[in-house]
């Protein structure tokens, strides 16, 4: 029985539905349903009472619910300990980083670390929720992510340590060559935009901090939706719509004149860049990296 299968079972029990469990496990609902069927085929019995709402384990299986949770914890501890010893033996560290930070900030951190110690770094790039999941599952030693102003000001929580690496503007940009098209859209009362999914971090920042500040007379038309900042960057360069981007992502095309910073006429926001790790015991290499980060960025949450 694989660890992820046991975690799938618990996710269904705790959420009460396959759809909610799929979201928790970061897979699509059809793919998750196939995984559940594969687990049941492996075990040889149906595990879930699909006629119940919320969905639960069959009565004959329910008695083993605590055993399953205990086994998950034991397997995770063993997995983590084996991985920790392996990384310690090979001076290896895993960093989970949001896509945009991977392209802008992470290389400098990796370079700083490599110059000071013999270390092998695995840089895992993903969206913010996936990065946090990697950290919480102890599949990453360090998380690099953006945080809103409210998040950066709040306590990171009992199980997390945080260092603020700096702040960055979240700015609106548009093609310098196609400003005439944007002005025509303004004249029609439209603001063409490159949108982020509402459940993505930058989508939430846009909806909560940017959208309320856009004048009511302008109709925000979401021309394209993408979760990738680099895709939004290219779409803005092509003149498809205004994209809100972390400033460093747009730095080169702004400097070369491909893009215009529209923050003099459209709202912007401020993002914090944070390094986050779990509290508790750490390997020597993990401690070295954290202390190097603190030495260069002393603002800690």
The answer on pLDDT for 44 being more than 90 is no
Domain limits, the chain:
3-74, 90-167+272-296, 168-270
Q: Contact, 91 vs 285, CB < 8 A?
A: yes
Per-residue pLDDT, 218: 66
CATH class of 90-167+272-296: alpha beta
The answer on pLDDT for 95 being more than 90 is yes
What angle, 0 to 180 degrees and rounded to 10, lies between the N-to-C axes of helices 284-296 and 65-90?
Answer: 80
Average pLDDT over residues 70-92: 70
Q: Which residues contact 184 (CB under 8 A, 6 or more apart)?
A: none
Average pLDDT over residues 278-301: 77
Per-residue pLDDT of 104-147, as tens digits, reads: 888 888 888 777 777 788 899 998 989 999 999 888 999 999 99
CATH class of 168-270: alpha beta
Q: Which residues contact 269 (CB under 8 A, 6 or more apart)?
A: 148, 149, 169, 170, 205, 209, 210, 244
Q: Which listed CATH number (1.10.630.10, 1.10.1660.10, 1.10.10.10, 3.90.180.10) goes with 3-74?
A: 1.10.10.10
- Please state, in angstroms and rounded to a whole number, the distance separating the CA atoms of residues 96 and 117: 20
């Amino acid at each position: 029985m694989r660890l992820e299968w046991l975690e799938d079972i618990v996710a269904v029990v705790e959420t009460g539905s396959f759809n909610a469990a799929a979201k928790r496990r970061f897979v699509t609902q059809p793919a998750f349903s196939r995984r559940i069927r594969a687990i049941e085929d492996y075990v040889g019995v149906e595990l879930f009472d699909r006629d119940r709402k919320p969905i639960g384990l069959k009565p004959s299986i329910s008695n083993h619910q605590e055993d399953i949770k205990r086994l998950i914890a034991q397997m995770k501890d063993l997995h983590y300990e084996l991985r920790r010893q392996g990384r310690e033996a090979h001076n290896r560290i895993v960093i989970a980083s949001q896509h945009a930070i991977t392209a802008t900030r992470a290389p400098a951190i990796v370079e700083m670390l490599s110059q000071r110690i013999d270390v092998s770094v695995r840089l895992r790039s993903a969206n913010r929720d996936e990065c946090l999941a990697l950290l919480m599952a102890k599949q990453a030693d360090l998380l690099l992510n953006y945080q809103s102003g409210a998040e950066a000001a709040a306590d990171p929580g009992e199980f997390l340590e945080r260092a603020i690496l700096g702040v960055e503007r979240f700015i609106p940009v548009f093609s310098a060559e196609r400003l005439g098209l944007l002005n025509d859209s303004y004249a029609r009362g439209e603001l063409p935009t490159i949108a982020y999914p509402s459940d993505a971090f930058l989508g939430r920042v846009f909806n909560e901090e940017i959208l309320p500040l856009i004048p009511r007379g302008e109709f925000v038309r979401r021309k394209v939706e993408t979760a990738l900042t680099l895709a939004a960057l290219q779409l803005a360069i092509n003149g498809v719509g205004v994209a809100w981007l972390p400033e460093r992502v747009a730095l080169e095309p702004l400097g070369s004149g491909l893009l215009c910073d529209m923050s003099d006429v459209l709202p912007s926001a401020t993002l914090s860049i944070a390094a986050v790790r779990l509290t508790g015991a750490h390997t020597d290499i993990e401690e070295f990296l954290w202390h190097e980060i603190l030495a260069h960025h002393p603002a800690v949450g």
